[in-house]
Amino acid sequence: MFLVLKAHCAYTPSGCDVAIDFANNNRTLKMSTDKIEEIPSGDEPFLGILDIALLLVLIAGATWYFMRNRKKEEEPIRSYSIQPTTVSTATASENSFIKKLKTSGRSLVVFYGSQTGTGEEFAGRLAKEGIRYRMKGMVADPEECDMEELLQLKDIPNSLAVFCLATYGEGDPTDNAMEFFEWLSNGDADLNGLNYSVFGLGNKTYEHYNKMAIYVDQRMEELGATRVFELGLGDDDANIEDDFITWKDRFWPAVCDFFGIEGSGEEVLIRQYRLLEQPNVQPDRIYTGEIARLHSLENQRPPFDAKNPFLAPIIVNRELHKGGDRSCMHIELDISGSKMRYDAGDHVAMYPINDTELVEKLGKLCNADLDTVFSLINTDTDSSKKHPFPCPTTYRTALKHYLEITAIPRTHILKELAEYCTDEADKEFLRSMSSITPEGKEKYQSWIQDACRNIVHILEDIKSCRPPIDHLCELLPRLQPRYYSISSSSKLYPNHVHVTAVLVQYKTPTGRMNKGVATTYLKSKKPGEADVRVPVFIRKSQFRLPTKSELPVIMVGPGTGLAPFRGFIQERQHLHDEGKTVGESILYFGCRKKSEDYIYEEELEEFIKKGTLTLKIAFSRDQKEKIYVTHLIEKDADLIWNVLGEKNGHFYICGDAKNMAVDVRNILVKILMTKGGMSEADAVQYIKKMEAQKRYSADVWS
């Protein structure tokens, strides 16, 4: 005997009713989610316990299915913005660079440690060139990777890890390479079987030239890794682009020899991003200058940092120079409500906006409609960097907020631009400048670097070169924040950040007027006008006053190098006013003329009257023979030795790294030798010991 069942389900707000007709009898069971109801209709059927159990399971399953669908229908639809490159939205498994290499058939991974974007740019160029040598590559940010996976890289045949690492500050790793540095230095991983190479980005004017790259190169070898090619060192004070291309053009043949592979011949130019024009995207989904989160500049919420800057109102913007043809601004930013905190010696970073006139020029030169909404999408689907900057956006926004259009273009950009020249002579000229031949390097040095030509100038002067605007957006580097030493003390101004900045503008050999991006932008921001807010964040520094206020300090800061010391002096005065013992504060300051560029004159004179400050000042052009702060320091050898050698004082330098800071350090060595009775080697070692003790600090730039 068997039963033939005919069933139907009716979904109602109260649940699911299932009616089952048994074909061999005249009884119907009406079953709902909460009860079974018998409907009498004649003879009693035979229905076993197993039948009932199966029916209950079916009903429960049907109920769950319909209730789940109903819940889904009731959920609101959420839309998610396209995230920019600076924000990682990947899960832990997606951050596995080993998994990405294996699934995509790659063997080359190029890590970068970058503070200004150059290291990342070099890493991208190396990974892109790998295709020529049958090594498909990927770029990776060590901050977004589990670097312990380096131990597994040897499992991939012919694998290679390259590190493009910048040195930052006083020989420190960049922010995104900090965790990798700590893992490498504190651990004892076995890196046997790992193949690697390192290229460093540094500046010889700084004391710790390329310290990070040198350390990583040595440490990798200590842990058993195999160096495929020698360490490359780039010097940004000279020509880091030349250093890089010279190194990489020797690097690739060495890689081919090591792995027994051959290059594929001529370089093929490949677009990394594809263009998607989006005329129908909703206006509220378009990025308008945000660094990361869409609408973050409208809906501000802490914490504020490099990816989420605070829109700070400018409440003061006044001129500090009394005369002359130069300009120096004193700017005060209101950070009330931001929950940002700072100490004297920290830096404030500001995201500038490119000059509107320059943006319009570039748009016309590329025959572009700057209001077109578009996205650039990475053709490498495995890359964590989906876009070169926040997308979708307009070309106007990209050129104003996201791209460095005033910088001197590197040779790889010239090589790509050459393909868009309709005149063969122009094409050959650009190709020549992008080559590694002595003639090409000389042309690049004279026509690009010495002439200070930016991308606009190049397109103006090479009239047959008209690249599409989207390719230009792919090639140009990201616009970076500009950093300024904070010139105030949070003890006096907890809700205000003071900035001291010289307006940058100069005439080039071609007769053009080049203007600094950030200072030009700041100069136009006048309190009381429409929108005088700028996106900022605070960057912590090691440039600190001694924890014991009774210790004496010597500060050397000509020009705007005075900025952090203004904050130091304010803080020392504040401590004195509170009744605390404060050691002597000696400032060596210099400028051209007392009548023109003696900044903060009234404030400094007031500190002198109060006994807080001893001022040593050099006006370089107020007399026939020029006098600089270095001359004053040389004359004060006894005072310097007394403070540093006998009273355990602190020594600070702020300003030009290339000349002033080097000269001051050399003079200090001589003073230690003559007044401290040290040999030159001992004097140099004494300063290094002071650095380790945070008694000798430099906040310098080149």
Instruction: Judge residue 388's burial from the number of C-beta atoms within 10 Å of its C-beta, 0-12 exposed, 13-18 middle, 19 or more buried.
Output: buried
Q: How far apart are CA 307 and CA 310, in angstroms?
A: 10
Q: How far apart are CA 328 and CA 320, in angstroms?
A: 5
Sequential DSSP letters for 13-63: TTEEEEEEEETTSS-EEEE-SS-EEEE--SSPP---HHHHHHHHHHHHHHH
Exposure string of 337-368, with b = 16+ CB inside 10 Å and e = fewer, is ebebebbbbbbbbbbbbbbeebbebbbebbeb
Q: How many C-alpha atoms does 67 have within 13 Å on its Cβ side?
A: 10
| For residue 45, cis peptide bond before it (omega within 30 degrees of 0) | no
249 is catalytic: no
The tokens for 667 are 């003079």
501 close to 523: Cβ distance less than 8 angstroms: no
**Other CB atoms within 10 Å distance of the CB of residue 260:** 7
The tokens for 430 are 């650009």
252 is catalytic: no
412 close to 125: Cβ distance less than 8 angstroms: yes
Q: How far apart are CA 678 and CA 690, in angstroms?
A: 15
| For residue 303, cis peptide bond before it (omega within 30 degrees of 0) | yes
Q: Give the type of residue at 351.
A: Y
485 is catalytic: yes
Q: How far apart are CA 292 and CA 295, in angstroms?
A: 9
699 is catalytic: yes
Sequential DSSP letters for 303-364: PPBTTB-EEEEEEEEEE---SSS--EEEEEEE-TTS-----TT-EEEE-----HHHHHHHHH
**Other CB atoms within 10 Å distance of the CB of residue 81:** 17
Angle between helices 680-692 and 660-676 (to 10 degrees): 120
- Helix (H, G, I), strand (E, B), or coil: what is residue 576? helix
What strand order describes the sheet that includes 273-277? 273-277, 373-378, 393-394
- Region of 44 on the Ramachandran plot (φ > 0 left; ψ -120 to 50 alpha; else beta): beta
Question: Per the residue annotation, which of 107, 485, 488, 585 is the catalytic one?
Answer: 485
109 close to 101: Cβ distance less than 8 angstroms: yes
Going through 153-277 in order, the beta strands assigned E by DSSP cover 160-168, 172-173, 195-202, 226-227, 232-235, 273-277
- Residues near 63 by Cβ (< 8 Å), separated by ≥ 6? 15, 16, 33
Q: How far apart are CA 492 and CA 488, in angstroms?
A: 8
| Closest residue by Cα to residue 172 from 216, 107, 117, 140 | 216
Q: How far apart are CA 613 and CA 566, in angstroms?
A: 11
**C-alpha pair distances (Å), 247 with each of 250, 442, 446:** 5, 18, 22
Question: Per the residue annotation, which of 183, 252, 641, 701 is the catalytic one?
Answer: 701
Rg of the chain in Å (alpha carbons):
33
| Closest residue by Cα to residue 150 from 98, 106, 198 | 98
Helix (H) or strand (E) holding 365: helix 356-365
Question: Per the residue annotation, which of 328, 654, 656, 697 is the catalytic one?
Answer: 654
Q: How far apart are CA 362 and CA 372, in angstroms?
A: 15
Would you please indicate which residues are annotated as catalytic (active-site) residues?
485, 654, 699, 701
